[in-house]
Structure 1
C-alpha cells in the first residue's frame, strides 16, 4: 500500500531530524554519543550537557518556529517567496534588540516581538492593505527595512557598545549556556501550537480568496492580522534564541511543495515545523563541518543559504506569483517649466546650497566670505578646502545615482527598479570592502575599477537570470533582493572579522561623504563625465527600448546587444559614487520618478533633468544631516534614507489604482 504525500513528508522529515540529531551528537560529544554523558560524571561531561542539550533544543525550537512562521506568511500573502526579511520583520526585530539595550528591564523578547510585528503591519499598510499584490508587498517590505536600517545605523554609530552587541547578534548563533534563554520559548511555543490548531480550518479557507472567506463567515483582515501577529511571535522566539535567520522560513514551505506536493495549509504548517527543525540542525552541522577551514557565523551562513535558495526557487519555479505593474508616470503636467529653465534653477539651487554649506557657522555672509577668500585669508581658504570637496562629491554622486536609475528603469522596464533594489550598490560596496581587506595597497588606485567590477557582475547576474522570463518585475526584484542580502551578509562578516572600528564601518555601509577631499573629486570626475557622455549617446536606444523589445527590434535596434551595453553604463554610474561615498540608497530610485512627475518624459529631457535634480537632492540631504543635530554629523546615507524612504513609500502608494481603473503593482 503506497503512502500518501503527507505521510511520505512526515516520515522523511522525521528521519532527517533524527539523522541530524545523531550527527550533532557524534560531532559534539564524540563517538560515545549521549551515553558518554551518563557514564562520565566529570565536570567536563557536565559542562557538555549544559551546552550540548540546550543547543540542540534551541536548534529544533528555532527551526520549528521559523518553518511554521514562513508557511503562515506565505499562505496569507499567497506569495511562496515571502520571508521575514521581505516583510521587514528582521529590521523591526533588530530595532527591538536596540530598545532592549536602552531599557533597564529585561524586555528582550517582548521588544523583539513588538518590533517585528510592527514592521510587518507597517509593511502591509504601506503596500495598500491586506489585499495587496506580491510585488507591492515586496517593495514595501524593502522600503520599510531600509528606512529602519538607516535609523538603526544612526543609533549604532553613536554607541560603540550597542554597535558591538547588535553586530554580534546579527551574526547569529545557536550556542546556549544553560536553559535560561529557552524558558520563554518553552512556555510560549505550546500556546502558539494550540493557536495554530485553532487556525487550521481558517488557514485552509484562506486558499480560496477573500471573497470566499467572507461568504463563509471569516473576516479576511482580522484573520490576516491575527496570523501576522502569530507568525511575528514565532519569529521573535527564534530571533531571541539565535539572532536573525531567514532561510528556514523561506525554503521549508517551498521544499515541501516541490518535493512532496504538500499544499494544504493545515498539513503544510506542522510539516514546516518538523522540516524547519531538521534543516536548522543541518545548517548548524554544516557550519561546524566547514569551520575546520573557515569560520562562518550561523547568521551569515543562513543569509547566504537563503539567497541561494531564492535564486534556485526562481530558477525552478516556472511562473512567479502574478503581479501586474503600472506605469508610474504621474498625472500629465499641463504647464511645465521649459527644460533650460528647470536646469538653470537646479544649477542655481546647487550653487546656493554649496555656498551655504561652505559658509555655515563661519559668522560671515556669503559675500563677506568670498571677499575674505579673494583677499587670501587663511580661515576662508581652509574652510573652502575642507567643505567644498565634500559638497562637490555629494553633487557628483547624486548625478551618477540618478542617471543610473534612469538607465536601470529603462533596461528592465520596471519603474520601481533602482541600484539598491536590484542589489547593485550592495555588491559594488562588497567588492570595495573585500579589496580593502585583501589588497589594501591597491585600493587607492583601483577602487573605481573594483567597484565597477562588482556592480557589473551584479547587474549581469540579475538581468541574465531573468531574461528568459521577460524581466518580470517580481522576479527581478526578488533576484536583486537575494543578491543584495548575500552581499550584506558578506559585508557584515568582513566587518565583524577585520574591522577595528565597527561604528565607522557601519557608517560606511550606509554611505558617508565625511572627510572627502579634492583627490576624491578629481577621481570621480572622469567617471561621471564618461557615464553622462555614454548616456547621451544611448538616448535613442533607451527611447526605443521603452516601446518594448518587439517594436525596438522592428525599428532596427539590436535589443540584446544594446541592453548589455546599457547594463555596463548603469554599472559604471553606480560604481563611481559607491567607491567614494558608499552605497547611498533611494536617489537612483526616486529621482527618475521626480523627473517624470515634473513632465519630462523624453529620454533626452530626462538625461538633462535627472542629474541636476539628483545632485540637488543629495547635497540637500547632506546639509540637513550636518545641521539638524549639530555638532553631530548624520551620515549621508542615513539622511538620504530619512528623506527617501517616506518618499518611496508615498510613490509606491501612488501606483495603487482602484478596481475598475486599471492594474496596479
Structure 2
C-alpha cells in the first residue's frame, strides 16, 4: 500500500499490542465521556438521573439527558463513523491522505442538506448519503476508475468539490435563510437536542458492523494489489464499490449528526499507522472506531474548554487540524511513490498550428464581438441599441455604463488570471498548477473579505495590497513546504487543498458570526463581476499593463526553467532568485484579479493548456495568446451566466465553474500520468 508512514518502526508500537491499544483507547474514551457528559458540569442529583422516569423532570434532568449526554454520545458515534470511513477509503484507494473532504463527499453531503431544505417531505439522511455517495463515485469515475493514481484522484476530488461548491453557492445566494442555516451547519457541532438525530445511526450501525465483519478478510487482501486479489478469486471492483458505499454511508451518518468534521477520518488511520505501526486492515478498522471516537470527544472538549473566552466551532477546529495533519504528513512522512505529470499533453504534437498573429487577430475580433453583443444583450437589436447610444438616449447610455465596464473587467480579470497560471506552471514545472488548485485565489479573497468585515472604510482603498498579501502568503506556504521535494505535483496539490480547507472553514465561521450580508459573502467567495464600474476597471489597468510588461521581460527565464533547474543554471540563469521573482509577479497578477472579481476558478488552470493545444510553446508566444484567451473565456462565461437563467444573473464564478469543471475533468483524462519512485 502506498503510505507516508513508517510501519513497523515505531517505538510506541513495541509497548502496545493491538489489544492494549484498544483497551487504552477505551479507557481514555470513557474518562473523556465522563468528564464531557457529567463532570464538566455540577454533579447531577439523583432526581436528575431519574428524569427519564419522571412525568415532570427537573431542569437539571432535562439538561443532563437531552443535552449533555446526547452531545457526549454523539461524539462517540461521529468519531467512530469518521475513523472507520477514513480507514476504509485509505485502504481501498491505497492513498493515506484520502478523506471524505478530498473525495468530494462532504460537498455532496452538503448539497443533500440543501435539497432536504427544498424538499421538506423527504428525509434528510438519505439525501445526505446519496449526495456523498454520488460525489465519491463521480470522483472515481472522472479520475479514471479504481486503478487511478493518487494525484489523479486528488485533482478529480478537488474539481468535483469546487463544482458542488459552485452549485451550493448558487442555491444559497437565492435564499438568505437557507444560507444562514447551511453556514451554521458548516461550522460543525456535536450539540444535540435530544436523542432523535441519533436514531438512524442506532438502526444502521449494527448492519454496517455486520457488513464490515464479513468484508474484513477480503480487506486484508487489498494490500496485495488487484492482480493478487483476482488470482485468489476476489473481484476488486465489487470490493471497492461496496467499501466506498459503506464508507460514504458512515461519513453521511457523521455529517448528518455534526456537520463536516473530515479531520477525524484523515488523522485517525495515519496516527495508528505512524505512531503504533497498525497496518493490517482487520486490526486497523476496529481501532479506528475507538480512537476516532476518542479524538472527536477530545476535540469537543477543547472547544468546550475555550468556550468562555472564544467561540471556536468544532468544524473550524477540524479543518485546521486536518490541514495541519496533511502538512505534517507531507513534511515528515516517508517519501512515497508519487504520480509524476509530464509538461505535455497527449496529442500535443498534433496540436493546431495556428499562426500566432492570426490567433491574436481572431481573439481580438471575438472580444470586440462580445463587447458589442454583450452590451446590447436583451435589447431589440444590436444595431438599433448602438444607434441609440450614438444618439445619446439616456436609457441606452445607462445600460452602456452598467454593462460595458463589467465586460471589460471580466476581460481584464481573465487576462490576469490566465497569465498568472502560465507563470505558476512555469515556476513549478507542473501543468496542473493553478491559482485555485494551490489555494492562492481563495487566500487572497479571504484576506479581502476580512477587511470588508472588520475594516470596511479601508477595504476598498487597500483591497489590492490586501489581496496581494493573501496571495503571496499562500504561495510562500505552498512553494516553501514543497521546494525540498522538487515541487512534486501530489504534494503541491495536497498543500493547496489544505490551505483551501482552512479558508473555507474561516469563511463559514465569518458567515455564521456576521449574518447581515451572508449572500454577498457567498457570492464574493465564488467570484462575481456584478455591479463593477469604470472605477474598478481603472484600478485594474495599471496592474494589467505593468504586469504584462514585466512578464514580457521574463520570457527568457520561463523558457529556460522549462528545461529544468540544472540546465537553466548551466546557461547562466540564477534559478532561485528568478523563481522568487516570478512567484511575486504571479501573486500580484492574481491579487489584481481577485481584488475586483473574487476567486474565479479554472481560468488560470485551463488557459495555459489551451494555448499549448493551439501550438504555442515558446513563452513569448504564450504571453500573447494566454491573456487574450483568458479574456475571451471569462467574458463568455459572464454572458452565459446572464443569459442562461435570465432574468436571474448567475455569478461569474458559478458560470465559469459550469464551463471550467467539465473542461478540467476532460483535461485530467488526457494528461499523461506515470507512477515512479522518487
TM-score (norm 2): 0.94
State how far apart, in whole Å, the 2-side matches of 1:234 and 1:649 are. Answer: 27
Residue 6 of structure 2 corresponds to which residue in structure 1?
none
State how far apart, in whole Å, the 1-side matches of 2:569 and 2:25 are. Answer: 51
Are 2:388 and 1:372 equivalent residues in the alignment? yes
Using a 3 Å threshold, how does the CA distance of structure 1 residues 650 and 334 change in structure 2: closer, same or farther? closer
Q: What is the CA-CA distance between 1:43 and the residue it aligns to?
A: 2.5
Contact kept in structure 2, 1:310 and 1:478, CA below 8 Å: yes
Residue 28 of structure 2 corresponds to which residue in structure 1?
16
Deviates further, 66-75 or 288-297: 288-297
Are 2:85 and 1:85 equivalent residues in the alignment? no
Are 2:55 and 1:38 equivalent residues in the alignment? no
- Unpaired runs of 5+ in structure 1? none
Contact kept in structure 1, 2:183 and 2:509, CA below 8 Å: no
> Which secondary structure state, in structure 1, belongs to the residue aligned with residue 503 of structure 2?
helix
Contact kept in structure 1, 2:511 and 2:521, CA below 8 Å: yes
Q: What is the CA-CA distance between 1:45 and the residue it aligns to?
A: 2.7
Q: 2:258 aligns with which of 218, 235, 242?
A: 242
Contact kept in structure 1, 2:436 and 2:442, CA below 8 Å: yes
Deviates further, 288-297 or 567-576: 288-297
Are 2:42 and 1:25 equivalent residues in the alignment? no
Residue 554 of structure 2 corresponds to which residue in structure 1?
538
Equivalence map 1:80-479=2 (5 Å): 80-331=96-347, 332-333=349-350, 336-366=353-383, 368-479=384-495
Contact kept in structure 2, 1:524 and 1:576, CA below 8 Å: yes
Contact kept in structure 1, 2:525 and 2:599, CA below 8 Å: yes
State how far apart, in whole Å, the 2-side matches of 1:25 and 1:347 are. Answer: 67
Contact kept in structure 2, 1:330 and 1:596, CA below 8 Å: no
Q: 2:637 aligns with which of 616, 621, 629?
A: 621
Are 2:658 and 1:646 equivalent residues in the alignment? no
Please tell me the root mean square deviation across aligned C-alpha atoms, in Å: 1.9
> Which secondary structure state, in structure 2, belongs to the residue aligned with residue 324 of structure 1?
strand
Q: What is the CA-CA distance between 1:559 and the residue it aligns to?
A: 1.1
Q: What is the CA-CA distance between 1:2 and the residue it aligns to?
A: 7.2
Residue 577 of structure 1 corresponds to which residue in structure 2?
593
Aligned residues: 660
Q: 1:605 aligns with which of 621, 628, 634?
A: 621
Using a 3 Å threshold, how does the CA distance of structure 1 residues 130 and 544 change in structure 2: closer, same or farther? same
- Unpaired runs of 5+ in structure 2? 1-12, 52-56
Q: What is the CA-CA distance between 1:101 and the residue it aligns to?
A: 1.4
Are 2:505 and 1:489 equivalent residues in the alignment? yes
Residue 71 of structure 1 corresponds to which residue in structure 2?
87
Equivalence map 1:517-536=2 (5 Å): 517-536=533-552
Q: What is the CA-CA distance between 1:335 and the residue it aligns to?
A: 5.2
TM-score (norm 1): 0.96
State how far apart, in whole Å, the 1-side matches of 2:631 and 2:158 are. Answer: 24
State how far apart, in whole Å, the 2-side matches of 1:73 and 1:175 are. Answer: 27
State how far apart, in whole Å, the 1-side matches of 2:397 and 2:501 are. Answer: 44
State how far apart, in whole Å, the 2-side matches of 1:247 and 1:3 are. Answer: 27
State how far apart, in whole Å, the 2-side matches of 1:34 and 1:456 are. Answer: 57
For 1:362-419, what per-residue CA distance to the aligned partner results, in whole angstroms no more than 9, with x for missing partners? 32333x3333323322222211111111001000000011011101111111111111
Deviates further, 308-317 or 11-20: 11-20
Using a 3 Å threshold, how does the CA distance of structure 1 residues 2 and 631 change in structure 2: closer, same or farther? closer
For 1:643-662, what per-residue CA distance to the aligned partner results, in whole angstroms no more than 9, with x for missing partners? 000000000011257x9xx9
State how far apart, in whole Å, the 2-side matches of 1:327 and 1:33 are. Answer: 66
Q: What is the CA-CA distance between 1:3 and the residue it aligns to?
A: 5.3
For 1:604-634, what per-residue CA distance to the aligned partner results, in whole angstroms no more than 9, with x for missing partners? 1111100000000000000010011110000
Using a 3 Å threshold, how does the CA distance of structure 1 residues 208 and 353 change in structure 2: closer, same or farther? same
State how far apart, in whole Å, the 2-side matches of 1:9 and 1:605 are. Answer: 61
